[in-house]
Structure formats: structure tokens, C-alpha cells
Amino acid sequence: MTLVRARNGDDYAADFSTGRMLPSRDLEHAGGMSPVESAVLKTNEVHVWETSSDVAAARLATLRDVLPAEELSRSHTYRFQDDRRRFIVTRGLLRTILARYLRANPKELYFTVSETGKPELHPDLHSGIRFSLSYCADRAVFALSQDCDVGVDFEQVRADFPLDCVEELFFSDQEQAILSSLPDCLRYRAFFAYWCRREALLKALGYGLPLGLHRPEVSTSLGEPGRLLSTLREAVETQKWALVDLAVGNGYQGAVAVKMPAPTLKYCDASEF
């Protein structure tokens, strides 16, 4: 582990053997869960399920079987086989995971859409479970909470990403200045950390990229847990929101936003069941 000093004097810890960058005060996460332990979701918890969308043929067939006719039809609208596979895996796993908590048949779950366009379990199911999912390349992450809005986002850290153009469009002057102050070895990962925090929050609220420059501003210090600095017009109560960076593996950055002050995150490998 190497301590790196940015141009603005802030310290960051970087593990260059794996390419992973950590804040000098790393976030504390709860340990992982086995699938058997994951059937109960407490009110102070966020359960984070992670898996690869590149599954064996038998697994793909099993996940396809839990999809209702409407979602199977949607899978056929994708032109490329990889996109069809990703849709089947993510939708099939979402249903399978939710069904564990509801003790239900995954094929019989039904959903609705909120006023802001966010998918939700239908209120007739009386579950109180909120969920969010994100996928990138061949990986997918699901976040679940009980009676609290939740959003998850994760991205692959790419050295060929056009940072300057995106920062100018979507980041505040303060965020741009902080990112510019970082050494090149940290700037890309810091960019994606900030991006994931904000996208996770917008997913939790039910908003997306169309907000453009009116996006909320989140904290840019990688040495501290994420914080919401500015609010949307709907007056988000910042003290009730938590932004937590995820340890989603080498080459990726992720974050969860949840409307509770001090969530406990628990991880589970969705490929194990």
C-alpha cells in the first residue's frame, strides 16, 4: 500500500499491485453472507448482491425459465446475443433474489413504475422491499433495502474515457477543480467514484441523466464517506441519506445511496444459488 499526495495536499492510499485505490480512511463494510443467511432483510441493512452475467448454458436456461412471457419477449428485442444474455441474467436474478425475501415464485412477481419512472414491486405484494440494479460489461450488482429508497451504480474504470468533456457537462466547478488537482494515477478512479455516488443517488430518487446540469452535488473527498452537498428542487433531506462506496472488485468503482443515516451493508454472491 502506497500513500499518494495529491496536488491539493490531500492524501490517498493506493494499492498499485492490484490497481485499487482506497481512501486513507477506508469505509467499513459488514462481512459477506451466504445465500442461506440472506433471506431476511433488516430495516437498517442494505443487501448488495453481485454476480457475473457470463453464466453457463444451464444457468442461463434456469434464469430464462423464471421470466414471464412479457420479459421473454423483451429479451428478443435486443439485436446482439450478449445483450440478450445480459437482460435474461439480470432480470432473472432480480426475480430470483426478490423471491427469496418474499418466499414467492419468482415468475409470479409483478412490478409497477413510480411517478418518476423507477421500477418497484407492486404494492399489492405488501413487501416494503426497495431495489436497484446496475450492470456494466459482464457484471451486475443488485441493492435491496427495507422501506427505504435505494440506488446502486457501478462502472468500469476506463483510461480511455473522455474525462474533460464529461466533467465540463456534469460536474460543478468545485468538483472539476478537485479532480484536476489529483495525480494522473488517481484521477480516473476518483472520477468514477464521484460519478457512481451521484448516479446511485439519482437512481434512488428515480431520476437519471436528463437532469443534466441540475444534478445534485456530492462530496469529492475520497478520504471520507460520501455526503450529499446540494439538493434537488424536491428538497432532499441530506441528513437522512447515506452514500457508501462499494468494493466491487479490481477495475470497477461502485456506490450505494440509501435513505437512512447509518446503513449496514452486507454482501452476497448471487452466483452461489
- Domain contains 170: yes
The pTM assigned to this predicted structure is: 0.77
**46 and 146 belong to one structural domain:** yes
CA atoms within 13 A on the CB side of 265: 22
145 and 63 in one domain? yes
Judge if 192 and 119 occupy the same domain.
Answer: no
Does any domain span residue 266?
no
Task: Return per-residue pLDDT of the chain as tens, 273 residues.
Answer: 223 333 334 433 333 223 333 332 233 344 566 555 667 899 999 999 998 888 999 999 999 999 999 999 999 999 999 999 999 999 999 999 999 999 999 999 999 988 777 889 998 888 899 999 998 888 899 999 999 999 999 888 887 888 878 877 777 787 788 888 888 778 888 888 888 988 898 899 886 544 443 455 555 555 555 555 554 444 355 567 888 888 777 788 899 999 988 899 998 888 866
Asked if residue 235 and residue 183 are part of one domain, the reply reads: yes
Q: Is 213 contained in some domain? A: yes
The reply to whether 171 and 199 lie within a common domain is yes
Residues 75, 87 contacting (CB under 8 angstroms)? yes
Q: Which of 87, 122, 151 is the last residue of a domain?
A: 151
Same domain, 203 and 249: yes
Supply 145's cell numbers: 433495502
167: left (phi over 0), alpha (psi -120 to 50) or beta: alpha
Q: Are residues 22 and 61 in the same domain?
A: no
Q: Are residues 132 and 74 in the same domain?
A: yes
Counted domains in the chain: 2
Domain extent, residue 243, equals 2-28+153-258
Rounded Cα distance between 256 and 13, Å, is 21
- 12 and 65 co-located in one domain: no
Cell match 419468482: residue?
106
Which CATH number does the domain housing residue 129 bear?
3.90.470.20
14 and 118 share one domain = no
Rounded CA-CA distance 22/33 in Å is 23
